[in-house]
Structures are given as C-alpha cells and as structure tokens.
Structure 1
Amino acid sequence: MNQSTPLPNASLLNQLLRFTPTARMFFSGNLCTLTQGSEADGLKQGTMHLLSRGELQLTRKGFAPLNVRAPSVLLLPRALEHWVQGSGPQGVDLMCATLSELAPPLDMILPDVTVIDLTATSSLQRPVELLFEEAEARAFGYRAAIDRLLQYTFVVLVRHLIDRQLLSGGVLEAMVDSRLGVVLSMLHESPEHDWTLDSMAELAHLSRSAFALRFVQVVGIPPLTYLTHWRMAVARNLLAQGQAVKAVASQVGYGNATAFARAFQRASGQSPSAWQMEHLSQP
C-alpha cells in the first residue's frame, strides 16, 4: 500500500489479528557471541528479538549481514534459519521469543524480516520497557506476564505497520476494493457457509469469470484457495480450544468429518486429531 491508498475499515482490519500468534520468551539478557538459530529461535517457528541496548548483527544464508541498533524490534514471523550476535565489546541486551504459526490473512502481508526503530514509534516504547522491567525484576508470574506482553507487543507492532502503510499485499488492497472487500468480509464472518465461486461473484456484482480474474489479480491466489486457507485457520483455533473434530468440521463449511480431515491433512500435514493432540499437550 502507498501513502495515497485508504486503510481498510476496522472490521476488516480486526480480521488480520483475529488469530494473533502466541509468543514465548526463550532468552533474556546480554548476548556477545554468535548464536546459531535453533528450534527455539527460528528454524521451526517465527521469532521476535527486542533490543534495549547495544547493537545486534543478524546473519542469514545468502544475505548480507544486517546490523540493528537498539532500541528496536526485529521481527522474523516465519520459520527462518538465522544467526544473531552482539556487536562491540558490550554486546547487546535483548529478549528473544518464539511465535506460533501465522494465520491468514496476516501471513500473506508480513515480510520475512522487519525492523522497527522504537524511537520512531511511541506506541511500542512502553510495552517493550515493561517487558525488560519484568525480565529484570523476575517477580512471581513474570514469565506468564512476559508472554502476554509479547503478544500485545506483536499486535501493537502490526498496528504500527498498518498505520504507517509499511505493509503491502494483495489482501490489503482487496479489503479496500469496492467489489472484493464485501466478499472478504463475508468469507471471514461465515466460513461455515456453502460458498461457491458463483455465490462470491454475486456478492461482488461481477460475472463468475470477471470475479475470479479480479480476485487472483489483486489477492494473488484463487478465491476458493483463499477460503480454504481461512477455514483451516478457523479450524485450528477451534481444535486448540478442544472442540471435537466433527463439531469443527461443520463450523468451517464441511458436510462431514471425513472431507474436513482430508482438507486439513493437505493444509497442515497432519490429521485434525493428531494436530489437536499435539497442541493440547503443549504447556
């Protein structure tokens, strides 16, 4: 989006963060030496690095090193192999957290690496200060407090990127499109509906072919593919709450649990029951 592009309405923007990823701190302190990415910090999950003092160097295969000065937030929202180290004799004071899997439509617009200078945004300064205060005080319950503050910080960070129009992506353009915006809104609100290409086109007041073409040109994927991505995000959220697979299937537009299980397996690489068991067993 450029500076002249209007922002989507609040209802659609809320859908960006309907399934906000959870966050879990795995490091807090001073880092001087090179630390290779591990399962905890970015090979299998996204990561967020928060710098309070010093300078950090981020290294990724195939890319030039990136130097980041404090106070800053460094967001790598997807599983991405990387190495970090403090620059200079004093190293860097930072906090690192893992992020759970991104859900659509947010996963379609966040870049692989984002650096936010905290001196340029007052809205992020206080949450980050509170995080480091909690980490230093280590009062009882501090880890629970930090993980919730990290999730809040992520929300404020996305707000900042949207407000400054620093994110781009077809979904954002579709949200302000006079024809596509209403379709996205209805897909998000009613994933259980028996959607077809014809019913979506009717909402957009376009022919079937014109709607399909416009959706792909703006969003980047076919409308039924987008619908499936959204339904799977809703399904994962419901499964994580402990709902039965059969009940989840009906809430995301599948007539029976077998059809839902096949779609979920294709999207997630696991059956719904296996995914649910794995995630409910996590602390």
Structure 2
Amino acid sequence: MLTPARSLALHAESGKELPRVEAFDALYGMGCRPRHGEVIMIAGRSGTQKSGLALFWVASMNLPTLYFSADMSAFTSSSRLASMQTGDTTEMVEAGMAAGGRHREEYLAALAHLDITFAFGSPITWQAVDEELAAFIELWDAYPQVIVFDNLMDFDGAESDYTEQMSVMSGLTELARATGATVIVLHHASDKSWEAKSDPWAPPSRDQVKGGLSEKPELSLSVALDPTSHEYRVAVIKQRMGPCDPTAKRYASLRCHPEVTRFSKLERVVPIASPSKPWSPTGVLNQKAV
C-alpha cells in the first residue's frame, strides 16, 4: 500500500508530458496533453490514416518504441517510414530498394537513427507480446517507452467479441502500469452509422467508437481525413486530465500528406480588410496565410 504522497513521488516521472511534435501544435492548443505511462487510443473509420498518424507520431518523438503491426505488412511499415524520412513516395522507395546500389543505401541510412522495433504477425497474442518484450529487454536492458498496437481488433479473439476486446483493454492498462510505457492502441469507429454516411469526413463521436471502448483509456483521439483538401481532423473525445468533447464537434486541424506519411501544421487563408477602407462582404479582400 502507498500513501498519496509516496505514490505521487514514485510515479511523478511516468506522468510527464510526452515530447511535443510541432505538427500537433493545434492539438496541444486545445489542451491535449499526452503523457508517459498512459493508454492512448486513436480511433477512426476505415481509411483515415490511423496507422500513418501513429507511425508519424512515434517516429517524430523517436523514443524507444515497440510497434506491433498486424494491420500492415513489414514492407508497408518500413517503406512508409523511409518515405517519411526522405520525402520520397512509397512507390519511389519500392523502386529504389529494387534497384539497389546508391538508392538502397540512402533509404537504409535514412532509417538508421529511428529507435523503433517492429513485431509483425496476425493475430496479436499475449504470448507474442511477452516474447517480444523479453527480447526487447534482452537487447536494450530496459522496457520500451512507447508500445503501439495496430490494432485492437487484431488481437486474438477480439475481432468481434466485445468481452474479449474489454479484456484486451484491461490487459493494455495493466501493461502500461507494469512497464511505465505509453501504450497507443488503434481502433475502429463505425462506418455504418448515420453520421458516417451524412458527414464522413468529420471525426466520429465517442459513441461511434466500436464497443464503446474509447472510455477506457486515459486519452482517446478521434480522427478523420478530408480527401479533397487533405485536412486531417483530430478530436479529443476522452481525456482524464484535461478538456475533451465526446461529440467530436471541436477538433484540431492538421495537414495530411498521405503520399509521404507526413503531417504538418494546417495553414488557413483568411480574409483581412484592406487598411485603406473598411471590409465589406462584396469588397475585394486581401488574403493572408496563418
């Protein structure tokens, strides 16, 4: 048993904010504070770059990371990272690796500094998690600081069983507590709801996340991609230690670059009145990017 003071002293380090990523400034501006040792869910409908966001996030922080990928192949994961680091498209990476020589060496060199270890295989089993963690500790003599599971429904038995999904979420919470690692889990939102059909490019609300499982983590992010403008919308639908909006009506906007698996600040063009005369709805407007 621990007194409140001793508990705070022992766990203050694990509650520190994660390193900030410049592209997420709009999200931080909403009061979102991802922290070490938390369970974080990224939820969205199919095809909304959930895996791309998770890859970009962990690569940008570059903390020691163990990434369980059941949703992407080994080549897809590594080629997206190479694309992210070099700015070349995944098609260019594939062609360069096939050509060999200088191109191959450049892509391999671009990945050399990344502190990410992948574990591939579907379904994800707890035995595999234990074995990969043991191998990680054997190699680095420490737990990973970030563990990513892509995704929740790829756990053994959790494809459609709500009870098993709840069990997995409990296991992820226990894993975060035992290791002190930030656990990021990807999950699906409904594609069949009325909101998904009427406003498919809006982040899904908390009640659209399958199984209602977004209520379990300390932080749950809801994401959506507008494919026409590449605006990427991120809503905080659950945050234990900060503001949130379960309806997902309030969201941060980023710019998504899916061809190179990158995200950046979204610059908006807004009208500004001419200094020589007052603004009018029919007048000629100056424009400025902010």
TM, length-normalised to structure 1: 0.27
Higher helix proportion: 1
Larger RCO (CA within 8 A; separation ≥ 6): 2
TM, length-normalised to structure 2: 0.26
